[in-house]
Amino acid sequence: MTEHATRRTVSDDESRRASRRWWDTDADDYQDQHGAFLGDVDFVWCPEGLREADARLLGDVRGRRVLELGCGAAAGARWLREQGAEVVAMDLSAGMLRHAREASHRSGVRVPLVQADALALPFRRESLDVVCTAFGAVPFVADSAAVMREVARVLKPGGLWVFSITHPMRWIFWDEPDESGLVARNSYFDRTPYVEVDESGVPTYVEQHRTLGDRVRELVAAGFVLRDLVEPEWPEGHERIWGQWSPLRGRLFPGTAIFVAVSASTARVASRHAEQRERPQEGREGHLAQSRQAGPR
């Protein structure tokens, strides 16, 4: 099947179908390439190799109800289970969840597995203490602000939302690990998705871009307080290349951004939303719209 890359807007439905198809098809190759690095019972936040065992971004999880969103083979969920958390691992892809089941059998560490959509989490309001994901869901949905709101819905007040994504500044460069990936070629402010389509024009892979400011605004609008933004440095002696991540690029600029946010109380969020509805927005919205329209397409 012939495929080519383009840049165009896609709907939530197109993104969902493309992601499910891509990860179902790619699951075996992905695990062959990266499974040893990720482990069966480990929580690795990023290709730089930052592990939750060292970073402790989730804090003490003993007895806490945790959802690993976009879990892939669920190595992170199994590690959290070993730390005493009550964990559920969730992914859109049946192919990735198949690998999660196989790894559970190999390791003897079992966690509940759920196939569901990040835009419709199958959990009650304020039922979870922690939601986390390492490169899952967030970059692959058209309306990532809706993901933030959905996570806020299921978290208890004061609950923790931690997610890692490709660092937004990487959008400027081609996804090449060598010198050709050091030249700025794309506008940081162009939010048009990267889309791979088949010969019929049907999207087979979709990845979204948001700026750092966009991500902060999404979190704040959903009622989160941003506690930390972690940009892991490339560690000495780490020579592994993972797609666009390489020692050459990693020593010059960040490849991963990890957002650590805490949910506000329901009453506080409702109050803030009421204030926003009453506050004039023309100046700020007009400025943002002009900035987007002025950027290259």
Q: What mean pLDDT is predicted for residues 151-156?
A: 98
Residue 251 in this model has a pLDDT that exceeds 70 = yes
How would you class 175 by CB atoms within 10 Å of its CB: exposed for 0-12, middle for 13-18, buried for 19 or more? middle
What are 261's two structure tokens? 């946010």
Residue 2 in this model has a pLDDT that exceeds 90 = no
Nearest 5°: phi and psi at 167?
-60, 130
DSSP line for 92-152: S-HHHHHHHHHHHHHHS----EEE--TTS-SS-TT-EEEEEEES-SGGG-S-HHHHHHHHH
Residue 4 confidence (pLDDT) = 85
Q: Are strands 86-91 and 65-69 parallel, antiparallel or unpaired?
A: parallel
- C-alpha distances in Å from residue 111, one per residue of 90, 101, 108, 265: 10, 9, 10, 29
Nearest-angstrom CA–CA distance, 158 and 148: 15
Residue 294 confidence (pLDDT) = 31
E runs forming strands in the chain: 4-7, 65-69, 86-91, 113-115, 128-134, 155-166, 194-197, 203-207, 224-230, 256-263
Residue among 203, 243, 200 at smallest CA distance from 21: 203
CATH topology of domain 4-294: Rossmann fold (3.40.50)
pLDDT bracket for residue 190 (50, 70, 90) = very high
Global confidence as pTM:
0.88
The angle formed by the CA atoms of residues 239, 240 and 245, to the nearest 5 degrees, is 105
Nearest-angstrom CA–CA distance, 174 and 27: 24
pLDDT bracket for residue 265 (50, 70, 90) = low
Residue 127 in this model has a pLDDT that exceeds 90 = yes
Residue 240 in this model has a pLDDT that exceeds 60 = yes
pLDDT bracket for residue 115 (50, 70, 90) = very high
Task: Determine contact, residues 73/26, Cβ cutoff 8 Å.
Answer: no
Q: What is the pLDDT of residues 42-65, one digit of tens each?
A: 999 999 999 999 999 999 999 999
The angle formed by the CA atoms of residues 233, 206 and 165, to the nearest 5 degrees, is 20
Q: What is the residue-averaged pLDDT of the chain?
A: 90
Q: What mean pLDDT is predicted for residues 154-177?
A: 97
Nearest-angstrom CA–CA distance, 101 and 81: 15
Residue 295 confidence (pLDDT) = 31
Q: Which residue has the tokens 């999880």?
A: 61
Residue 24 confidence (pLDDT) = 95
What are 256's two structure tokens? 């991963």
- List strands edge to edge, sheet with 203-207: 4-7, 194-197, 203-207
Residue among 186, 169, 137 at smallest CA distance from 250: 169
Residue 21 in this model has a pLDDT that exceeds 90 = yes
Please tell me the total number of residues recorded for the chain in this structure. Answer: 297
Residue 162 in this model has a pLDDT that exceeds 60 = yes
Nearest-angstrom CA–CA distance, 230 and 197: 33
Q: Are strands 86-91 and 113-115 parallel, antiparallel or unpaired?
A: parallel
Residue 271 in this model has a pLDDT that exceeds 90 = no
* Domain residue spans of the chain: 4-294
Residue among 215, 214, 255, 252 at smallest CA distance from 231: 255
What are 27's two structure tokens? 């699951």
Q: What mean pLDDT is predicted for residues 268-296?
A: 38
Residue 281 confidence (pLDDT) = 41
Q: Give the rounded percent of residues in the chain with a pLDDT score beyond 70.
A: 88
